[in-house]
Amino acid sequence: MPYVVITSERPEGAALCERVTSTDFETDHFKACLADRLAWAVEDAEHQATGAMPVAEDVPAHA
């Protein structure tokens, strides 16, 4: 299965790991929601890389 993954430079800094399929992109709603999640994950990864945001050790990864 294909995944979209956004990480920071820190090894524990996964900000987003989401499984996607080609059929997911058939709706505008999914595409808009994914764009929002990507933007949030990029912002979180930037904060993690600079140490401006603590990494949550106990937050489960989303798949």
Residues 6+ positions from 15 with CB-CB distance below 8 Å: 6, 7, 8, 41, 42, 44, 45, 48
Beta strands 14-19 and 3-7, pairing class = antiparallel
In angstroms, rounded to a whole number, what is the distance separating the alpha carbons of residues 54 and 37? 19
Residues 6+ positions from 50 with CB-CB distance below 8 Å: none
Residue ranges of alpha helices (H) inside the chain are 28-50
- Domain extents in the chain: 3-50
Give the tens place of pLDDT for each residue, 1-51: 898 888 877 766 667 888 999 999 999 999 999 999 999 988 888 888 777
pTM (predicted TM-score): 0.67
